[in-house]
């Protein structure tokens, strides 16, 4: 936390929060990668002499001024994003502490660029983490993972020489209990450092020595901060202030544990406690501040209802709901695994060990082995009651839940939602239906068709009558590499397209079932994506979104174009994609990752299902380069024909395909007025005009 211009800037692993220093009743301003940060993992904010704010985070240095964020990528020689720990302003430059050393960033060269980097500091281990930087006139001090370093910074080129640095570590200063220096600060003419094993004052005389402050050398210090005429310290066991070179402990009564960092506003203080909670004492006693963002960053799944309410699951943090700008916790006893909506807009939450929860307005109901046909396994202390929901889907009014390693080898439970509270209405798919493997990973359903992915033997495709107890349902067929040309038997996800075509994501790519030849065909992935594809989602126009550990790709409905998204070329907060949710109501695509939630807004505005309301984007269609493309805001599938003003066919496209201003022969068309006719799969149509301007 830093106090800048009477505002508290909170750097968090979930983004940036800015509060009016004395306002404890509102959520203030919250910024994530969606708002232009480019990352949610923020480590520090400082203000330079010109008034601009500079923000460090994972892979980015961000300039913030007049409400605009200008991120700059920071990558190593292998093109991996670098974690930036800290910043120090130095006139025309910014010193940046990173996970591989020190970086000098020029604000003025070519509008801002890296000027130099430094990885060798005396006898310290090469390329240490630089956790804190102190500028004291012409001297620069570094708190690193290998010790303390200092040098004259007047000539930055000299800093490249290791011998130019004076260093302090456990090897040469036995009084230090640890080499990991987390903070360095100057107070009343002395240098103070916080370490993983105590706080020290450096006595610089004939012989440099460190004086340990009597706070305990078992305490890990998380922050040192000079405010007004006091030096505040924060550690794992105490919070206090330095007075007359001595440590004075301050009260933390009412806090669950000592604060890790904080800032004072004059009348009261803000604290970060236990990593995730924020407290303030404006009323004289410490109270939790409720507006702290998502319950976690490692997102397992999410969904959005018609009112824009987000329900999300988080690794180790169960689940939460985002309503009217505020997150609230959903109390579960287990980690959530998968989330989906029913026709009423209620959220169904699958868990790791506790079956299903139904969550809605004033509604919280658990469904497990006692009131359903679901069965668990013996991995947990609850035995067969330990129900792990691997995946879930609601098709029409039928809910299907895939239970991983069901003891009775009936891993798929299903029920009509109209009879959800009648245990006898539940049924299961398993051994008698031809399913002989209980290690299910995924499930999707469309009408009579149910696809069930497994961990290592392929997938089952069932054509069934979903009435519970109906013995006439067909046997489920096992489809594998050997009998159906599936690209791999290790299935991560299965999904039916809007027109009923089955797509399968595996550890070795994507397969699509071609009904014409009755076998799977491989889908070509763009460079840099996969081959391990973890999740897929179709949007309303038939475009396929696929996520992997190294990014996201969108295939257009016609299969002619792909577009990739990663943390380098977009606002994707992390390349590690966990789940994808397409919001039919807004056209936005939500991406759940291990570092937060990213949102890709629709480029066509709000989609419409009314053919007569379809409009092209943009219109006029100005073509300056091959990157300029025209698309339409129709939410369904169908065919689009573009005609000249004379009524001649110029181009035929599928909905979801974008027009590049060329005819059927690939030739550029001239500027002018063109007509479009859009028809859905049932033969209904809409039409309009396009003004094309070619430059």
320-346 residue pLDDT tens:
988 877 788 888 888 899 999 999 999
643-673 residue pLDDT tens:
999 999 999 988 778 899 999 999 999 999 9
72-96 residue pLDDT tens:
999 888 888 899 999 999 999 999 9
Domain identity same for 397 and 504: yes
Domain identity same for 589 and 546: yes
The separation between the first and the last C-alpha atoms of the chain, rounded to the nearest angstrom, is 50
Instruction: Tell me whether residue 89 is in a domain.
Output: no
The SS3 of residue 57 is strand
Count of the separate structural domains present in the chain: 3
Instruction: Tell me whether residue 248 is in a domain.
Output: no
Interatomic CA distance for residues 528 and 79, integer angstroms: 13
Interatomic CA distance for residues 385 and 433, integer angstroms: 23
Contacts 24+ apart (CB under 8 A), 454-461: 454/489, 454/491, 455/490, 455/491, 456/489, 456/490, 457/489, 458/484, 458/486, 458/489, 458/491, 459/486, 459/491, 459/494, 459/504, 460/434, 460/435, 461/502
Query: pLDDT at residue 467 above 70?
Result: no
Instruction: Tell me whether residue 103 is in a domain.
Output: no
Domain identity same for 566 and 620: no
With tokens 């290690």, the residue in question is 439
Range of the domain at 663: 611-694
Instruction: Tell me whether residue 30 is in a domain.
Output: no
Instruction: Give the single-character DSSP code of 112.
Output: S
Q: Residue 359 corresponds to which tokens in the numbers above?
A: 């969550």
Domain identity same for 539 and 471: yes
The SS3 of residue 468 is coil
Helix (H) or strand (E) segment spanning residue 71: strand 68-73
User: Residues of 200-239 as b/e, b for ≥16 C-beta within 10 angstroms?
Assistant: bbbeeeeeeebebbebebebbbbbbbeeeeebbbbbeebb
SS3 percent helix, strand, coil of the chain, rounded to 5, is 5, 50, 45
Instruction: Tell me whether residue 684 is in a domain.
Output: yes
390-422 residue pLDDT tens:
999 999 999 999 999 999 999 999 999 999 999
Instruction: Tell me whether residue 83 is in a domain.
Output: no
The residue among 227, 230, 226, 192 whose CA lies nearest residue 212 is 192
CATH number of domain containing 618: 2.60.40
Residue 477 phi/psi, 5° resolution?
-100, 135
Single out the residue in 338, 363, 388 at which a domain terminates.
363
Residue 156 phi/psi, 5° resolution?
-55, -25
Domain identity same for 436 and 503: yes
Domain identity same for 395 and 420: yes
Instruction: Tell me whether residue 481 is in a domain.
Output: yes
520-569 residue pLDDT tens:
999 999 999 999 999 999 988 788 999 999 999 999 876 668 999 988 78
Cα separations in angstroms, 149 against 72, 153, 312: 27, 12, 44
Single out the residue in 578, 600, 622 at which a domain terminates.
600
Domain identity same for 651 and 538: no
Query: pLDDT at residue 604 above 80?
Result: no
């Amino acid at each position: 936390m830093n106090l800048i211009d009477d505002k508290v800037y909170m750097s968090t692993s979930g983004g940036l929060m800015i509060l009016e220093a004395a306002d404890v009743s509102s959520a203030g301003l919250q910024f994530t990668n969606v708002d232009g940060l480019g990352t949610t993992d923020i480590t520090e904010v400082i203000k330079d002499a010109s008034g601009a704010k500079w923000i460090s985070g994972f892979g980015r240095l961000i300039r913030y001024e007049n409400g605009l964020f200008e991120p700059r990528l920071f990558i190593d020689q292998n093109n991996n994003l670098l974690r930036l720990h800290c910043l120090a302003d130095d006139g025309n430059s910014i010193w940046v502490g990173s996970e591989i050393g020190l970086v000098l960033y020029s604000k003025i060269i070519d509008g801002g660029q890296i000027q130099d980097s430094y990885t060798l500091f005396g006898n310290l281990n090469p390329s240490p983490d630089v956790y804190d930087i102190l500028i004291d006139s012409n001297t620069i001090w570094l708190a690193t993972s290998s010790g303390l370093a200092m040098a004259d910074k007047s000539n930055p080129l000299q800093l490249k020489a290791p011998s130019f640095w004076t260093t302090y570590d456990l090897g040469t200063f036995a009084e230090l209990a640890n080499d990991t220096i987390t903070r360095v600060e100057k107070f009343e003419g002395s240098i103070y450092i916080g370490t993983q094993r105590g706080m020290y004052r450096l006595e610089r005389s004939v012989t440099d020595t460190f004086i340990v402050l009597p706070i305990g050398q078992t305490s890990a210090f998380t922050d040192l901060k000079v405010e007004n005429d006091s030096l505040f310290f924060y550690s794992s066991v105490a919070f206090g202030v330095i007075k007359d070179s001595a440590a004075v402990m301050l009260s933390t009564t009412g806090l669950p544990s000592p604060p890790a960092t904080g800032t004072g506003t004059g009348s009261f203080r803000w604290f970060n406690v236990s990593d995730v909670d924020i407290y303030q004492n404006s009323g004289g006693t410490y109270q939790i501040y409720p507006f702290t963002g998502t319950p976690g960053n490692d997102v397992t799944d999410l969904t959005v209802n018609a009112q824009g309410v987000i329900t999300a699951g988080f690794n180790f943090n169960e689940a939460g709901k985002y309503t009217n700008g505020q997150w609230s916790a959903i109390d579960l006893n287990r980690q959530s695994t998968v989330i989906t909506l029913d026709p009423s807009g209620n959220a169904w939450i699958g868990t790791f060990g506790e079956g299903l929860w139904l969550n809605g307005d004033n509604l919280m109901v658990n469904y497990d082995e006692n009131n359903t046909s679901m069965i668990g396994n013996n991995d947990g202390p609850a035995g067969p009651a330990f129900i792990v929901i691997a995946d879930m889907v609601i098709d029409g009014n039928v809910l299907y839940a895939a239970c991983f390693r069901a003891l009775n080898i009936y891993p798929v439970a299903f029920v009509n939602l109209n009879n959800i509270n009648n245990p006898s209405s539940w049924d299961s798919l398993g051994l008698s239906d031809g399913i002989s493997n209980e290690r299910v990973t995924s499930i999707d359903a469309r009408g009579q068709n149910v696809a069930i992915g497994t961990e290592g033997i392929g997938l089952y495709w069932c054509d069934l009558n979903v009435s519970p107890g109906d013995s006439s349902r067909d046997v489920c067929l096992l489809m594998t590499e050997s009998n159906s040309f599936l690209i791999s038997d290790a299935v991560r996800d299965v999904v039916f397209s809007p027109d009923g075509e089955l797509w399968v994501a595996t550890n070795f790519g994507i397969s699509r079932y071609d009904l014409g030849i009755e076998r799977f065909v491989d889908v070509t992935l763009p460079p840099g994506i996969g081959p391990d594809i973890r999740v897929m989602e179709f949007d309303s126009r038939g475009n396929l979104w696929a996520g992997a550990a190294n990014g996201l790709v969108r295939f257009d409905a016609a299969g002619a174009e792909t577009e990739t998204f990663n943390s380098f070329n977009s606002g994707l907060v992390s390349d590690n994609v966990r789940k994808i949710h397409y919001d039919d109501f807004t056209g936005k695509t939500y991406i759940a990752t291990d570092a937060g939630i990213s949102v890709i807004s629709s480029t066509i505005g709000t989609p419409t299902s009314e053919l007569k309301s379809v409009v092209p984007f943009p219109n006029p269609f100005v073509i300056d380069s091959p990157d300029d493309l025209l698309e339409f805001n129709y939410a369904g599938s169908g065919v689009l024909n573009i005609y000249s003003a004379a009524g001649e066919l110029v181009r035929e496209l599928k909905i979801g395909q974008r027009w590049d201003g060329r005819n059927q022969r690939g030739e550029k068309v001239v500027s002018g007025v063109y007509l479009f006719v859009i028809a859905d799969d049932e033969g209904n149509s809409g039409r309009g005009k396009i003004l094309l301007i070619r430059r």
